[in-house]
Amino acid sequence: MQPRPLALVAAVTALTAFISGCATPPQSPAAANLANLTKPENLPGKPACFWKSNFQGDWTVLNDSTLIVRAPLPKDAYVVKLFEPVFNLGFKQGLGFEDKENVGQICNHGDDYLLVPGWQPPNVPIVAVHALTTDEENHLLSAAGLPIPRAHTAAQTSPVKQLPN
């Protein structure tokens, strides 16, 4: 006995709907908060630029299309939003930057790219670069479920000492 084509199509459609509905777990409140924080229009910080030569390979992936770059020092943090997701970005061994204007800076709303070895195409357009304060960086790290560096928590809890005149 052969199944009827209409019944087969209905079964495949139902199975596809079931799989697509069940394959994605519901988003946790923290993940929803991070997704909202990393929309280009909601990014914390102020639009900025950093010198490409100052990037020494210090970055933290928040999600597949957002990362925090530190250039040149850990205190100099920038959130970088990509045009499209790069899956498994956190497992990449090295990243680089390309500035199309050849001025040496990676800027907000510029013609700049993140260079991702092994990704096709290897140059991913950057849609936003914002300079972050320590509090803004900590908020993003916390929303992503990532640890906050000790230097950040020590700086927040240590009192500011005034020098005598």
Q: Residue 147, class by beta-carbon neighbours within 10 Å (0-12 exposed, 13-18 middle, 19+ buried)?
A: exposed
Strands 46-47 and 77-82: unpaired
- Residue 106 in contact with residue 49, Cβ under 8 Å? yes
Nearest CA to 48 out of 32, 21, 71, 28 is that of 71
Cα–Cα distance, 90 to 64 (Å, whole number): 8
**Over the stretch 65-108, which tens digit does the pLDDT of each residue have?**
999 999 999 899 999 999 999 998 888 888 999 998 899 999 99
**Over the stretch 100-130, which tens digit does the pLDDT of each residue have?**
889 999 999 878 999 999 888 889 999 999 9
Inform me whether the pLDDT recorded for 21 exceeds 50.
Answer: no
Q: Could you give the angle at the alpha carbon of 81 between the alpha carbons of 75 and 87, nearest 5°?
A: 110
Cα–Cα distance, 13 to 160 (Å, whole number): 64
Structure tokens at 42: 């909601």
Residue 116: half-sphere exposure toward Cβ, Cα within 13 Å: 26
Residue 40: half-sphere exposure toward Cβ, Cα within 13 Å: 11
